[in-house]
Structure 1
Amino acid sequence: MHIDDHDRGLAHDLETLAKSAQQRRRALLWLAGTGAVSLLGCGGGSASAGTSSSSSSSSSSSGSTTTSTCSVIPEETAGPYPGDGSNTANGSIANVLTLSGIVRSDIRGSIAGASGTAAGVPLTVTLTLVDTGSSCADLSGYAIYLWHCDRDGKYSLYSSGVTDQNYLRGVQETDSNGQLTFTTIFPGCYSGRMPHMHFEVYRSLATATGSTNKLKTSQIAFPTDVCSSVYASTGYSASATNLGQISFATDNVFSDGTTLQMATVTGSVAAGYAAALTVGIAA
């Protein structure tokens, strides 16, 4: 659900001042003959695709807040398959965050004694973490745990046939630019949900050991046309069928908007794809 945008208190006054200041800056830049994008873009170094710049007091999902320059990504459910120590799988606590080797960039293979590898169209996912309370400054030294289903729509640890696997799950630390990149496969589409990925943000690698330490949980959305192209390739036939029966408007997570969660995706089935999203949090 959306945050109420009818409050006319202090937040509205501050926002109005910010808008005025931004308009003055634009006018000065125009007079000087310089471009405004570099000054007004979401700051901190990287202008990755997916950055949201806004001075609106409303946002696309429950739990979102905004500043004069960028927005906090919506808080979303971790779903039933997080593998972060918050629930059980096969009668025992499922927590890949404690496994040796979980801190990695390539998450296609299983680790810690499991040997399976998830097949599918290659995809790299680059996330840029920024602080909405500090002019969208890049957040280095934080950790992000990313997980998603395979091309059959199954989640390792939980789904029938892959309970002995832990692939498509991994943790990385943000670099000096607030960035990290995972190498994975394009996720499948299972019945009832649009294609997506889950992630949790942690203060550091040291604290990324269980869900009780997480700062934020959200999800990544993917453009429908890209999903259709991927699902026309070998191995994704079930996903193609499921995608034809769902839309963002009927999805139980994304139906209230995807502005802050929609990845920008480039590439092809033959060459693989690259997705990018800037993630704003109130650090």
Structure 2
Amino acid sequence: MTTDPRWIDEHGDPIDEDHRGLVYDIRTLVDRRRALGIFGGVGLTALLAACSADPEPTATASPSASASASVTPTPSATAAASGPLAEVPDETGGPYPGDGSNGVNVLDDSGIVRSDIRSSFGSSTTVAQGVPLTIALTVRDAATGSALVGAGVYLWHCDREGGYSLYSNGLENENYLRGVQATDANGTVTFTSIYPACYTGRWPHIHFEVYSDVATAVASGPIVKTSQIALPQETDAAVYATAGYEQSVRNLSQVSLSTDNVFRDDGGIHQIANMSGSASAGYTAALTIGV
């Protein structure tokens, strides 16, 4: 029998089977499994291709780093163009924007530029209570996929009871759950907040406005995009089962993405956040949008 030249050493002698490596072992296993009809077709080509390639040396991640990555994925993006992506739909800013378009304007207040939006600032230091939520919004140019670096993002949402600071009864002197930030080198802003309630007639959501930069935002200048983030039903249900969100359980049961007056046109397919975390430890809501 002729020996495959791949298994001949530099002296012309056959290499013992025990030392032919992973590719030989995989190919032998596949051939035997095929003969027995054990393997399905899915994955064989990919497996062999991956094993046949000459791997580049890579550093081995520490066990703790690997565990952290698998348990709590963090949103990431490259500043380079990644190709066109769908533009996020334009949506209403609602009746409680706080941007001067409907009464009060919080954007020109000292303290509005911040990442932790759980507390009020200025004359009040009230802290909104609820399940912790980190909101990571990545803003890209819809035509090219390039990250919009240095864009200003104003973000706001209701509290655990469904009230909006500056507007709702008893909250006129509060300005919590509102903030402005500049996108980083990846086009991302990250806010520390709490999970909003589901109030009557609306799917759980978060409002945002995108400006060319922070200076334009705090001057209430031209808005590049006004839209909303939709929170997924699975995490909604988990959060609303915790203390303080009792009224949201009933409200959520009476609305859906297809009936919501904002998301119903397309079911919010371009606005549903990717979630990680838990109701006990808190969630991260990540979304990449095109503008």
With normalisation by structure 2, the TM-score equals: 0.71
Identify the match of residue 196 of structure 1 among 193, 198, 205: 205
8 Å contact kept, 1:84–1:210: no
In structure 2, do the counterparts of structure 1 residues 149 and 44 end up closer, same or farther at CA, with 3 Å as the change threshold? closer
Residue 242 (structure 2) pairs with residue 242 (structure 1): no
Which whole-Å CA distance do the structure 1 matches of 2:285 and 2:215 have between them? 27
Query: Any idea what SS the aligned residue of 1:176 has?
Result: coil
**Runs (4+) off by over 4 Å:** none
Identify the match of residue 101 of structure 1 among 111, 130, 137: 111
Deviations 1:198-219 (A, max 9, x none): 0000001110125442111000
8 Å contact kept, 1:173–1:180: yes
Deviations 1:127-148 (A, max 9, x none): 1111112x20111111100000
Question: What is the CA distance between 1:160 and its match in structure 2?
Answer: 0.5
With normalisation by structure 1, the TM-score equals: 0.73
Matches within 5 A, 1:108-119: 108-119=118-129
Name the residue aligned to 2:40.
none
Q: Which amino acid aligns with 2:87?
A: V
Name the residue aligned to 2:235.
226
In structure 2, do the counterparts of structure 1 residues 207 and 268 end up closer, same or farther at CA, with 3 Å as the change threshold? same
Gapped runs of 5+ residues in structure 1?
1-29, 35-42, 48-52, 54-67, 89-93
Provide the aligned length of Structure 1 versus Structure 2.
Answer: 217
Deviations 1:49-103 (A, max 9, x none): xxxx9xxxxxxxxxxxxxx731111000000000001112xxxxx1110111100
Name the residue aligned to 1:208.
217
Question: What is the CA distance between 1:221 and its match in structure 2?
Answer: 0.2
* Bigger Cα Rg: 2
Query: Any idea what SS the aligned residue of 1:98 has?
Result: coil
Name the residue aligned to 1:69.
84
Which whole-Å CA distance do the structure 2 matches of 1:276 and 1:200 have between them? 16
Q: Which amino acid aligns with 2:86?
A: S
Name the residue aligned to 1:85.
100
Which whole-Å CA distance do the structure 1 matches of 2:287 and 2:280 have between them? 22
8 Å contact kept, 1:130–1:139: yes
Matches within 5 A, 1:54-65: none
Query: Identity percentage over the alignment?
Result: 54
8 Å contact kept, 1:44–1:137: no
Tell me how large the CA RMSD over aligned residues is: 1.9
Deviations 1:13-67 (A, max 9, x none): xxxxxxxxxxxxxxxxx9xx69xxxxxxxx96179xxxxx9xxxxxxxxxxxxxx
Name the residue aligned to 1:59.
none
Name the residue aligned to 1:121.
131
Gapped runs of 5+ residues in structure 2?
1-45, 51-75
Which whole-Å CA distance do the structure 1 matches of 2:220 and 2:206 have between them? 17
- Between Structure 1 and Structure 2, the one with more strand by share is 1
